[in-house]
């Protein structure tokens, strides 16, 4: 550590003595001998570096509840409207999401609102157009929303939030391109890291769901092998608990749902919300998000029956059990299935 150096120099004084009687005006008095210079001693400890090695700062990822280094807990959330048409699969980046919402759109098929924050890949997509329920889903996260346009009234609704809108064909088009591996309109890709870096000063998202303490799975609920949901006659989804990987594996219409690398998509938590549908926009269904209803929360190989509620556009979704207590998720990624009341939900043994 620090080395204490003591340096002392004592100047020898040339003293001239005068006696009561002057013996000689030129007779000098001999100078006193100077004291010895002190020896400098050094500690056995090494001298510290002028630039100490920084200690990584760890925080909790607000959308996952997992421990991450500081950089992964900062910066804005990036939400995107992701295509789920068969021609859009496999999508780019879904395996890196913090939260994914699956919603009903025209023709009985589904699309996603996917949210990245703690693990943002180079590219995400394909992005598609905005829908009337998306502002209510995305607004609580703040940050950035990437999509390919949409009906003017729906775009205006999204732009009326405090979220930065990155629209294909707009000012942020330099961060988007069409991939050749998919056919249009299922091929608009977002350069996610570059887009997010452009708006790095936007605040990170607030916590959305409550999580169990790290290293502890939620302890309530009944053991269950998974959950099946149906959005319409043409959109059936299944999740199965895999104890080996401590995750739920996803299937669509009886087939494993794969990411771009060929691995089956998975989630630590699967939250199913039974929702009302507003048909006031003609053939475009609007999932009613500022509302409440029944909920099924699958986590850790168990399912918890409860209720969900959302008080306003900007408020997060609250999950409560039968006793009115808060339901906590296991730390990790979450998929939220917004299943219409006209659909079906079935817990498997």
Q: pLDDT digit string (tens) for 163-207?
A: 999 999 999 999 999 999 999 999 999 999 999 999 999 999 999
Reduce the DSSP state of residue 135 to 3 states and report it: helix
Query: Same structural domain for residues 273 and 341?
Result: yes
Report yes or no on 215 lying in a domain.
Answer: no
β partners of residue 298:
270, 303
- CATH number for the domain that contains residue 169: 3.50.90.10
Q: What pTM was computed for the model? A: 0.84
pLDDT at 24 over 50: no
The last residue of a domain, from among 198, 213, 234? 198
Q: In which band, very low, low, confident or very high, does the pLDDT at 17 lie, cut at 50, 70 and 90?
A: very low
pLDDT digits (tens, 9 = 90+) for 257-315: 999 999 999 999 999 999 999 999 999 999 999 999 999 999 999 999 999 999 999 99
Structural domain count of the chain:
2
Look at residue 70 in the predicted model and tell me its pLDDT.
Answer: 85
Report yes or no on 95 lying in a domain.
Answer: yes
Query: Same structural domain for residues 189 and 241?
Result: no
Query: Same structural domain for residues 300 and 266?
Result: yes
Query: Same structural domain for residues 89 and 172?
Result: yes
Query: Same structural domain for residues 193 and 238?
Result: no
Which residue segment(s) compose the domain that 279 sits in? 222-348
Report yes or no on 328 lying in a domain.
Answer: yes
Report yes or no on 18 lying in a domain.
Answer: no
Query: Same structural domain for residues 151 and 102?
Result: yes
Look at residue 22 in the predicted model and tell me its pLDDT.
Answer: 32
Chain centroid, CA 221 distance in Å? 26
The last residue of a domain, from among 166, 198, 230? 198
pLDDT at 53 over 80: no
Query: Same structural domain for residues 228 and 184?
Result: no
Query: Percent of the chain, pLDDT > 70?
Result: 82
Look at residue 108 in the predicted model and tell me its pLDDT.
Answer: 97
Nearest by Cα to 118 from 203, 43, 51, 60: 60
Query: Same structural domain for residues 247 and 185?
Result: no
Six-digit token string for 64: 């996952």
Query: Same structural domain for residues 263 and 316?
Result: yes
Query: Same structural domain for residues 229 and 192?
Result: no
Report yes or no on 214 lying in a domain.
Answer: no
Query: Same structural domain for residues 189 and 78?
Result: yes
Query: Same structural domain for residues 91 and 123?
Result: yes
d(CA 137, CA 297): 18
Look at residue 15 in the predicted model and tell me its pLDDT.
Answer: 36
């Amino acid at each position: 550590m620090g080395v204490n150096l003591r340096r002392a120099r004592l100047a020898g004084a040339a003293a001239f003595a005068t006696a009561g009687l002057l013996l000689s005006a030129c007779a000098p008095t001999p100078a006193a001998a100077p004291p010895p210079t002190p020896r400098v001693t050094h500690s056995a400890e090494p001298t510290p570096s002028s630039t100490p090695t920084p200690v990584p700062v760890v925080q909790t990822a607000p959308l996952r509840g997992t421990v991450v280094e500081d950089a992964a807990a900062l910066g804005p959330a990036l939400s995107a409207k992701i295509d789920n048409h068969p021609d859009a699969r496999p999508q780019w980046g879904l395996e890196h999401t913090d939260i994914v919402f699956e919603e009903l759109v025209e023709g009985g098929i589904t699309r996603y609102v996917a949210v990245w924050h703690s693990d943002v890949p180079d590219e995400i997509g394909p992005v598609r157009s905005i829908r009337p329920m998306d502002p209510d889903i995305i607004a609580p996260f703040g940050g950035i929303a990437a999509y390919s346009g949409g009906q003017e009234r729906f775009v205006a609704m999204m732009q009326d939030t405090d979220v930065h809108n990155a629209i294909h064909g707009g000012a942020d088009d330099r961060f988007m391109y069409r991939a050749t591996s998919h056919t249009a309109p299922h091929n608009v890709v977002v350069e996610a890291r570059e887009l997010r870096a452009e708006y790095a000063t936007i605040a990170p998202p607030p916590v959305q769901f409550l999580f169990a303490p790290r290293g502890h799975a939620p302890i309530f609920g009944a053991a269950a092998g998974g959950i099946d949901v149906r959005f319409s006659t043409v959109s059936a989804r299944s999740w199965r608990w895999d104890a080996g990987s401590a995750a739920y594996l996803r299937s669509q219409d009886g087939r494993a749902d794969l990411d771009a690398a060929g691995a089956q998509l998975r989630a630590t938590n699967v939250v199913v919300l039974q929702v009302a549908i507003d048909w006031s926009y003609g053939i475009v269904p609007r999932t009613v998000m500022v509302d409440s209803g029944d909920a099924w929360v699958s986590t850790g190989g168990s399912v918890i029956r409860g209720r969900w509620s959302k008080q306003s556009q900007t408020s997060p979704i609250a999950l409560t059990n039968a006793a009115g207590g808060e339901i906590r998720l296991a730390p990790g990624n979450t998929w939220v299935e917004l299943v219409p009341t006209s659909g079906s939900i079935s817990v498997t043994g």
